[in-house]
Structure 1
Amino acid sequence: MVRRRLVDATRRRAQDERRAAQLQLLSDGAVEPVRQELPDRRLGLLFACAHPAIDAAVRAPLMLQTMLGFDAAAIASAFLVAPATMGQRLVRAKRRIREAGIALELPATDELPGRLDAVLDAIYAAYAEGWLDADGTDARRRNLADEALWLGRVVAALLPGEPEALGLLALMLYTDARRRARRCEAGRDYVPLAEQDPRRWDAARIDEAEALLQQAVRAGRPGRFQLEAAVQSAHCVRRFGRAVDWTAIEQLYAALETLTGSPVVALNRAVALAQSRGAEPALAALDALRGDARLADYQPYWAARAALLARSARHDEAFAAYQRAIGLERDPAVRRFLQRRLEQTVKGPGGADRP
């Protein structure tokens, strides 16, 4: 099974990386690399910004600012850091580029795989930013998701042997397949994934994503985007009338957390735990994240916490968490959805106002 192979391979990779942390592959430079024209100028610039002399943590943010026009606040939100902190990192990176005389030129073909991770991170951040504008009313975000999908296709075609490029494209296709289903038929109200009608999903895009994920997994080199795509694949069984395997999703998130250490992944694992084991274990997992400053202003954390508190009949705490989530949300449709959930919490399960 794809997800089991990914989980097992991820565990092996984590062990191998710990053993090889101090090793570095060096090229003898005996052969002059062959340069080729990249099919999209923006993609070439993204790879140029992934220069190894630039701090790895700032490569993707630098791409988003210089190549895709993101401001520091949007970039900071995508990477869960304070805007001032992100601004300082970008300023330092640009200063280093100037002072060190780093030439941001198109890399040789054989250098592309070594720069791939930062490029994929930037493409996915651009896709996610466009995905947030479900109504297509934000001029800055308009068509950003489509552009990211195009760049993802170009990278996957350029480096077909790189499973993470395939994994990212699969991930974006899985989520994009649900674009219409994110709003009700009238187009006004937000519909969460668990309540979406699978008949409104784009079956052709899901089939394409499934084929890409299978191709990626066969390479035997699991990574973040393959695991995230596998989670989306697990949700897609609903289109065949089957129940979602939440235990499998929780295991995928556990493997992903081992790989990335991301608090957002830990949050998603807690949400999966709520479905497979109940609200209390999930709340315990969320409590373990309360001290992480990166989640302090992260709306999904507060929305998930509010829903779990409501399930546990901790209504006053749920009310406060819902208010926090509503205050952090920018999308009017999602705010209305959260407001309705808050009102249900106030009224209680029977529909009457709680004492």
Structure 2
Amino acid sequence: MDGARQAAIRTAELAARSCYGRLVARLAARSRDIAGAEDALAEAFAAALRTWPERGVPAAPEAWLLTAARNAQMNAGRHRRVRDAAAAEIERRAEERAAREAGFPDERLKLLFVCAHPAIDAAVRTPLMLQAVLGLDAARIAAAFLMAPAAMGQRLVRAKAKIRDAGLRFAVPEPEEMPARLAEVLAAIYAAYGTGWEARQAGLAEEAIYLGRLLVELLPAEPEARGLLALMLYCEARREARRDAEGRFVPLGRQDARRWSGAMIGEAEALLAEGARAGRFGRYLCEAAIQSVHIQRPVTGRTDYRALRLLYDLLGAHEPSLGVLVARAALLLEAGDAAAARVALDALEGRQVAGYQPYWVALARLLRAEGRAAEAEAALGTALSLTDDAALREFLSLPPP
């Protein structure tokens, strides 16, 4: 029994990682209730852990979970009158037909646009997408948004309750409404990719790239969709070179370019060029262009800091987030302008820097460049305390070259 139980637990855990978002999307598409879909799926997982050890793991665990969750939804909704159930079914079929006619290539992509509804608080749209569609837990979402997990969890619960209580229409937006919702969808896909990148979860990163491709297919005239896909491909092309054979972190400037994926870089360069032709240079095209400059280093033998500084200035105007501003300050220091880096970092005081590890890394390097060794060591200690990645901790602890 112990072996059967362990096998059941492993299979359930694998299903939770690989198909949670897809199952919630399919369940919510039918019920129009994201929170209810999650509750039903939780009941299905609990039922799996009760029955699989005794009856064996089914041949198709995802299908089994979907069926069990749908049964739970049916049990929860039996108190509704037949007329209401029939009306909901008619509306669901009409919406699914409209989605197909609109050319939505994936149910999850459809749900991302639904979660960007203007009636939902703008601050919670992207986190809601990450949890309900892409399956990230509140702790990882909170880390991406520099928030406490409890606060993020409460924010998500309130948002789902508002969706349910307000009876928001679970429908695909009209074509003319999509551009207004695009920014949140792009942000959710990029946040999912970033989480997979930092946690070295290739599956989540691949899922984000897949959704990025579908978004370019759905909205071919939107340059930022191409910019996001290009950005993710530039980063993914370097995945294998980011760690050495012993698992130690290798910074971009020291990576072996022979381990980069030429096919991904070529595709990213083409996407960047196509997006730039639109004449609208937004956040993701700008970030992709920054990656393109870095990619040229093995060819030219140097880093074009002038181009990077211009691009970071433009990016800061588009997206003055903490991450972007810290990256800009680090670039200024790397380019040899410690005075400008000091001004940039000083301007961030009072923001949410206390728990932001890249800020302390940049500050430690700046203090070292200023000859303030003791303060640099203190800042480095703070940076080390903010990461659990042993390889990254080892790299940060190395003496400067």
Mapped to 2, the partners of 1:220 and 1:204 lie a distance apart of 26
- Alignment match of 1:275 (pick from 330, 334, 344): 334
* 1:96 equivalent in structure 2: 162
Query: Displacement of 1:97 after TM fit?
Result: 0.9
Aligned pair count reads 304
* 1:264 equivalent in structure 2: 323
- Alignment match of 2:238 (pick from 178, 184, 196): 178
Please state whether the residue corresponding to 1:221 is helix, strand or coil.
Answer: coil
Which one has the largest radius of gyration? Answer: 2
Query: Displacement of 1:264 after TM fit?
Result: 1.4
* 1:72 equivalent in structure 2: 138
Confirm whether residue 149 of structure 1 aligns to residue 215 of structure 2. Answer: no
Mapped to 1, the partners of 2:101 and 2:180 lie a distance apart of 15
Please state whether the residue corresponding to 2:332 is helix, strand or coil.
Answer: helix
* Structure 1 residues 166-193: Cα deviation after superposition (integer angstroms, max 9, x where no partner): 0000000011111011011x14110011
Pairing of 1:65-144 with structure 2 (within 5 A):
65-134=131-200, 141-144=201-204
Please state whether the residue corresponding to 2:119 is helix, strand or coil.
Answer: coil
Regions of 4+ moved over 4 Å: none
Q: 2:240·2:260 contact (CA, 8 Å) conserved in 1?
A: yes
Please state whether the residue corresponding to 1:106 is helix, strand or coil.
Answer: coil
- Alignment match of 2:350 (pick from 286, 291, 297): 291
Please state whether the residue corresponding to 2:102 is helix, strand or coil.
Answer: coil
Please state whether the residue corresponding to 1:112 is helix, strand or coil.
Answer: helix
* 1:13 equivalent in structure 2: none
Please state whether the residue corresponding to 1:86 is helix, strand or coil.
Answer: helix
* Structure 1 residues 129-156: Cα deviation after superposition (integer angstroms, max 9, x where no partner): 000123xxxxxx4510011000101111
* 2:279 equivalent in structure 1: 220
* 2:389 equivalent in structure 1: 331
Q: 1:198·1:239 contact (CA, 8 Å) conserved in 2?
A: yes
* 1:240 equivalent in structure 2: 299
* 1:192 equivalent in structure 2: 251
Pairing of 1:162-177 with structure 2 (within 5 A):
162-177=222-237
Mapped to 2, the partners of 1:292 and 1:116 lie a distance apart of 27
* Structure 1 residues 196-255: Cα deviation after superposition (integer angstroms, max 9, x where no partner): 122221122111111101111111112111111111011111131331111221221111
Query: Displacement of 1:306 after TM fit?
Result: 1.1
Mapped to 2, the partners of 1:296 and 1:196 lie a distance apart of 30
Confirm whether residue 301 of structure 1 aligns to residue 359 of structure 2. Answer: yes
* Structure 1 residues 38-84: Cα deviation after superposition (integer angstroms, max 9, x where no partner): 22221111111111211222111101111112122211111223333
* 1:161 equivalent in structure 2: 221
Confirm whether residue 318 of structure 1 aligns to residue 376 of structure 2. Answer: yes
Query: Displacement of 1:33 after TM fit?
Result: 9.9
Mapped to 1, the partners of 2:310 and 2:388 lie a distance apart of 31
Please state whether the residue corresponding to 1:255 is helix, strand or coil.
Answer: helix
- Higher percent of residues as helix: 2
Confirm whether residue 36 of structure 1 aligns to residue 102 of structure 2. Answer: yes
User: Given the two structures, how large is their TM-score scaled by the length of structure 1?
Assistant: 0.81
**Bigger mean CA deviation after superposition, 104-113 or 149-158:** 104-113
* Structure 1 residues 301-328: Cα deviation after superposition (integer angstroms, max 9, x where no partner): 1111112212222111111111111111
Q: Which sections of structure 1, spanning at least 5 residues, go unmatched?
A: 1-31, 135-140, 350-355
Q: 1:34·1:108 contact (CA, 8 Å) conserved in 2?
A: no
